[in-house]
Structure 1
């Protein structure tokens, strides 16, 4: 029978505990016999008790080992072993001085062992069984139900309640303190170990993703050239004038899917080849308008409308190509999340010394469980997506020092909101929407809304 993964560490710790306790018990017996008892006395009461105790401990350890090999009831075995240890130490306490014996420190050792094995529950089991066994021993001596070992000096034992109170109180307090400290340290160790395991798993996952990214970049290079040839050949066939309407429709499908694959390849290359932004003055409003027009002119059909609302200009300091990529990826993501007849709104406005760019769709929204991983590479909630576009957006914005927020409600759509610091001091020139615009960008705008049409075709 195979040990379940969650029980494997416990089985290992139990194996080491069985071996360690036998070593400790044997060493303690030898020291007790040589120092305290002055050697084993044949027929001596204390010697017989010590030998019987050790023999019983070895026998019980053998039984535990059998159950351990069967991988059954490991936690029950652990608790039983803790109780057995405390009873064993009580027998040694009895023959080495009773309530005032130095062997009472072994109770704390078992409490520490219980905390390591089972955490706080294990420490409590060990403390309860040890305190009970020690209390029963003291009560038996105080009530004279148990006499002093006949081969031990009577003066070495405390047998009156007035004398038993202090060692009883001190040892019970020591057991309690050791239990609390051991539980706290064991829990901290377990928490730290869990975090280390998680960090190691994340590092291994990052390494696998990095290797996958390198492989994807190599494949992207190899795929892009055939895609160009396919797109060019299909265009020649479609415009040749010799095809039927049905054949032209098939060519359009091939062109559209080829463009989708080309976008995917481009995202892969962007993700695998990050570069430092080359900052320059960029008109974010012009970039957003261009992307909206491009989305309307792309071969994605005409069932999703893309609208732009914003000022005549919005100067920022950024990498022009990368900012265009950010806006395009967000608009494309919104289109893919939209159904036929929906509207994707691209809005730009000034807020507290920064420009806010919002891309809002009317799709199904993002599930709550997926929001924390939304910008992770290769994570997607769509059946045909690769989870690359938003990862590219996050990397570019992080490289620029810009921030992005996500506002999504299931069934009500999603809004991505990017905050970009404005470039320098802006002259207060009111554009057609009442937003601030610099003097160099006073070119008139024909309409407040710039609309494009795009097909939803989810990737």
Structure 2
């Protein structure tokens, strides 16, 4: 399963094969136009049998032939990075042939080396631009060296005076052209990387916006269903309670009524989670005793029927006053405790711990010793309708994240598979009333009583 980051990277640009196809076609078009212009400007037209004309026509024919070979590999979609590197090197050699017949070291066609560096940056980023730069500088250097060593003759149909063949005459031109290649390479690499990063962020933002739109639609649907479900649930719960307390049922029938009552309560909690997620409410901030809220949650966990015998215990100070929405923060604590208990096996222990860091930031931890969370699921842990359990629909933690984001609180998760999970809620110092917070932990005998939560 791909993460959001992987999906964004996949959509950051067109596939390499598509980009290679388009750039190959564009390259052939540009080459053909340039050679026509060069023939009209430098050669006075294609002279039959002329040396420069022969080089130009051979270059075009070779470029088209090599493009046909590349097209075969592109259709097979094999070794695409190697094909891209080969095309970049081929381009620089092609431009060198054009430089050779249009003035040598001082030819204006040397600017085409930079075009290939830009192409390399678009295709492969810094690595592609570097390959193009090395190939271009090497080909240009060999051309100039061939003139200086008189290994490469001046085209016979070109004026000899238009070509630089001595080191003293061409060293400045060589330096300027090589510097231009380096500068273009660095700038193209930087811009291509920025474009790639921006495109990735844009794709990620678009994906999140589409997901948010889908979730909003699901939320509206869930809210409507929740209202329709809640009324029958109330009737079922009331009817079962009357049957169970009527005194006319057998022990087996009463056990069946308890099962129905427990499952009805579970459905009612799921409906409540749907409503919380689909109808967000701005928090009403006011001072509240977080420890008292935790005490209520511990008591509630002890009376909740959910499957296994789990101990819920609190560790921390007697009083801790924070500024938050009491109802919403209570929902956060309850959802985290419920999630921890559901992840625990019978006889295990869930610990709610409250402490203060040196920066006066308050830390609320909910620890369990359950099976832990798989690493591939942690990035989506707070997504709505995502769950790692066989039962449940993945709403509780999404509600937690939304409430904490509205409060500008943060949450962290630490988990090891097979060893348990810790959810850590961080309350910033500005939300903590230091003058009303006693940081000394309670003695063991004075701690909140342990509650057996049948979950």
Q: TM-score range by the shorter chain?
A: 0.7 to 0.9
Paired position in structure 2 for 1:387? 394
Secondary structure in 1 matching 2:15: helix
Q: 2:296: which partner in 1?
A: 290
In structure 1, what is the Cα distance between the partners aligned to 2:69 and 2:410?
63
The aligned residue for residue 363 of structure 1 is 370
2:305 is aligned with 1:306: no
Contact 1:379–1:388 (8 Å) recurs in 2: yes
> How much has 1:172 moved relative to structure 2?
3.2
Are residue 131 (structure 1) and residue 131 (structure 2) matched?
no
Q: Find the counterpart in structure 2 of residue 141 from structure 1.
A: 147
1:188 corresponds to 2:194? yes
Question: Mapping of 1:38-117 within 5 angstroms?
Answer: 38-117=44-123
**Aligned equivalent of 2:384, options 361, 377, 383:** 377
Q: Describe the shift of the 1:291–1:70 C-alpha distance in structure 2 as closer, same or farther (beyond 3 A).
A: closer
- Give me the TM-score of the superposition, normalised by structure 1: 0.82
**1:404 CA displacement:** 4.6
* Number of aligned positions between the proteins: 440
Unmatched segments (≥5 aa) in structure 1 = 435-445
Whether 2:24 is the aligned partner of 1:18: answer: yes
Give the structure with higher Rg (CA).
Answer: 1
- Which one of 398, 401, 406 corresponds to residue 405 of structure 2? 398
C-alpha separation in 1, matches of 2:317 and 2:129: 68
Secondary structure of residue in 2 paired with 1:180? helix
**What corresponds to 1:30 in structure 2?**
36
- Does the 8 Å contact 1:404/1:416 carry over to 2? yes
For the pair 1:234 / 2:237, whether they are aligned, the reply is no
| Cα drift, residue 263 of structure 1 | 0.8
Residue ranges of structure 2 left out of the alignment (5+ in a row): 1-9
1:196 CA displacement: 2.0
Q: Classify the secondary structure of the residue corresponding to 2:64.
A: helix
**C-alpha displacement at 1:90, in angstroms?**
1.9
Separation in 1, partners of 2:221, 2:314: 38
Contact kept? 1:326, 1:393, Cα under 8 Å: yes
Q: Is 1:252 aligned to 2:251, yes or no?
A: no
Once the two structures are TM-superposed, the CA of residue 270 in structure 1 deviates from its matched residue by 1.0
Equivalence for 2:275:
269
Are 1:338 and 2:344 counterparts? yes
Q: Retained in 2: the 8 A contact 1:302–1:453? A: no
> Any conservation in 1 of the 2:320–2:437 contact (CA below 8 Å)?
no
Per the alignment, residue 455 of structure 1 pairs with: 454
Residues 330 and 90 (structure 1), Cα distance of their counterparts in 2 relative to 1, 3 Å cut: closer
Alignment partner for residue 414 of structure 1, among 391, 416, 422? 422
1: CA distance, partners of 2:287 / 2:175: 79
1:207 Cα deviation from its structure 2 partner: 2.0
Does 2:207 align with 1:201? Answer: yes
Give the distance between the partners of 1:125 and 1:432, measured in 2 at CA.
Answer: 64
Please tell me whether the aligned partners of residues 117 and 133 of structure 2 are also in contact (alpha carbons under 8 angstroms): yes
Q: 1:23 to 1:406 in 2, by over 3 A?
A: closer
CA RMSD of aligned residues (A): 3.5
Task: Output the TM-score relative to the length of structure 2.
Answer: 0.83
